[in-house]
Structure 1
Amino acid sequence: MAEYEIFAIRYAWRDAKRSDHFIGGDPHDGPMPMDYFTWVIRGEGRTIVVDTGFTAEVSARRGRTHLRCPIETLPALGIDPDSVEDVVLTHLHYDHVGNFHKFAHARFHLQTREMGFVTGPYMRYPKFGHSFEVEDVVGMVKLNFKGRVEQHNGDFELAPNVTLHHVGGHTPGLQIVRVMTRRGWVVLASDAAHYYEHLQKNRFFTQAFNLGDMVDGYRTCERLAASPDHIIPGHDPLVMKLYPAVSPKLEGIIVRLDVPPKKEG
């Protein structure tokens, strides 16, 4: 059975409060910072990158703290970005598709519904359009004309034991990634669950297109993962605390997700 290593690269963060992350606010409105990640799946002779982060320029404009370029961090794992053949874009929000231009030869995998969303009528409304960078969307359209965008309608097996699953909710075309590892099936939830708390308490993130699809997405993550400990949320700083660094030199930068998490407390 094909098994893979999975890595999370932390490339940015922002200071935030709990009320920023839950529809309806929160009665205990204390600090709740947000981390930004990209992910790497490696094994069976191939490397798959999941999401590509945002640039330092976009970070400055949007008031985020940019720590490093996630693509320029790939060599720390022995990966040459020019050698990457497949990049999964879970959706096209600015923090998941920026830096796409730094992959010279990759094919980009996204859901057809996501491409239709970002080129359709809802982008005229600031509530939806604010989370996208126009140049990222235009870049994907241009790459589609060049034959470098693979659009999927629902579930898709990208590689043996690496599958993509449409969930929607946060955006209409949001997809998650299921990967077989030595500890079992791991689900990279991306923005299907920004924080562990969203999934555990069935709470909704503030940026949402369809709340019903969002909560159904939580159940899909649970169904596909070997256990709740096998679900990796998209922005939770706990990920860096629960999983071990690749090496002491990469502490706080890259952690391994194909090993069991530490127990809290």
Structure 2
Amino acid sequence: MTDWSIWSFCYAVGNLPYDFLSGSPIHSNQGKVDTPMLITLLRSTDGETILIDTGFESAGSMTGAGFANFVRSDQLLERFGFAPESIDKIVLTHMHFDHAGNFHNFPNARIYLQRYEYDAWKQVIGQHDTSKVSKADWAFSSLNLNDFDLLERAIGAGRVEFLEGDAEVAPGVTCRLAQDTHTFGSQWVEIASARGRYVVAGDCCYTFENVHRMWPPGYTQGNPWNMLREFQKMKSVAGDDLSRLVPGHDIELFKRYPSGERDGVRFAEVSLAEQHASLLRPASPSVAGA
């Protein structure tokens, strides 16, 4: 079978209220926590490379706070030996600014997005005077409108493939539509490896605690009941102990998986195929991307 290595990289760090991530009121009035902004790289034993989410090129948060330790995703991957031109496919889990920006700096990648996510956000955008909206508006609190302009160009260039629900985008890599959960057409990714099936959740869950407690986060733009349904689906893949889960924004990720830091970038080696060199060991770029 095709096997996959999985690495998650922290390209920036926010500082958000605990209940924003893991649920209100059970975590209300408990202060703020460091919140990693993540991209995840899949590398197959057949040589295919898939990037799940692309971060932002530049962005301000809805609270106005800045992000620490920001490294643009294409430049980040170069530090680990993966040239932006070598990325074959990009899966955008949803169109929020911290997941769906900067994809244009991966020039050869085909982009996979749920059609419902695109169509529904386009409808929202069409209902507002976009010259007047900002992140102070709830509907646009997590959007960068420029990302849609860039996406339109990518569509025109034939780079975008819209998915209509669950779809396998590579051997053993399946996008799972989580309709009307975090956003209209959010999706999470299931990866079949020799070590079991893994879940890269995007923002279908923010934290391990969301799924462990079956408690939605404090910020969502969809239906919490639908989120609970997806939590159960993800748990059935990742295991009751959630040992094969990559949540969207949990600093705990770096405690649960073998982790390291290179050139100021913190990363987790979630799963390593036998044929691949570990990024936890010093290696030349040619070896790291082998």
Question: Structure 1 length as normaliser, TM-score?
Answer: 0.89
2:89 aligns with 86
- Alignment pair present for 1:210 and 2:253: no
Q: Which moved more, 1:223-232 or 1:104-113?
A: 223-232
Amino acid at match of 2:259: A
1:145 aligns with 156
1:71 aligns with 74
Q: 1:102 to 1:53 in 2, by over 3 A?
A: same
Q: Once the 2 structures are TM-superposed, how far is the Cα of residue 249 of structure 1 from its aligned partner?
A: 3.9
Once the two structures are superposed, the pairs formed by residues 1-265 of structure 1 within 5 Å of their partners are 1-21=1-21, 22-24=23-25, 26-43=27-44, 44-55=46-57, 57-59=58-60, 63-121=66-124, 124=128, 126-168=137-179, 169-205=181-217, 206-227=219-240, 228-245=242-259, 249=262, 253-258=266-271
Q: What SS class does the counterpart of residue 51 from structure 2 fall into? A: strand
The superposition leaves residues 193-248 of structure 1 with CA deviations (integer Å, 9 ceiling, x where unpaired) of 101111111212212311121111101211233552111111000111222236x6
Find the aligned partners of 1:252 and 1:54 in 2 and give their Cα distance: 16
On the 8 A contact 2:11/2:265 being kept in 1, the answer is no
Find the aligned partners of 2:70 and 2:257 in 1 and give their Cα distance: 19
Amino acid at match of 1:133: N
Q: Once the 2 structures are TM-superposed, how far is the Cα of residue 159 of structure 1 from its aligned partner?
A: 1.0
On the 8 A contact 1:192/1:214 being kept in 2, the answer is yes
Q: Once the 2 structures are TM-superposed, how far is the Cα of residue 80 of structure 1 from its aligned partner?
A: 1.1
On the 8 A contact 2:74/2:83 being kept in 1, the answer is no
Amino acid at match of 2:236: R
Q: 1:225 to 1:64 in 2, by over 3 A?
A: same
Find the aligned partners of 1:105 and 1:144 in 2 and give their Cα distance: 13
On the 8 A contact 2:69/2:264 being kept in 1, the answer is no
2:278 aligns with none
Q: What SS class does the counterpart of residue 206 from structure 2 fall into? A: coil
Report how many residues are paired. Answer: 257
Q: Once the 2 structures are TM-superposed, how far is the Cα of residue 255 of structure 1 from its aligned partner?
A: 1.7
Of structures 1 and 2, the one with the larger relative CO (CA 8 A, separation 6+) is 2
1:262 aligns with none
More helix by share: 1
Q: What SS class does the counterpart of residue 49 from structure 1 fall into? A: strand
Amino acid at match of 1:102: N
On the 8 A contact 1:87/1:108 being kept in 2, the answer is yes
Sequence identity percentage: 27
Q: 1:98 to 1:183 in 2, by over 3 A?
A: same
On the 8 A contact 1:190/1:234 being kept in 2, the answer is yes
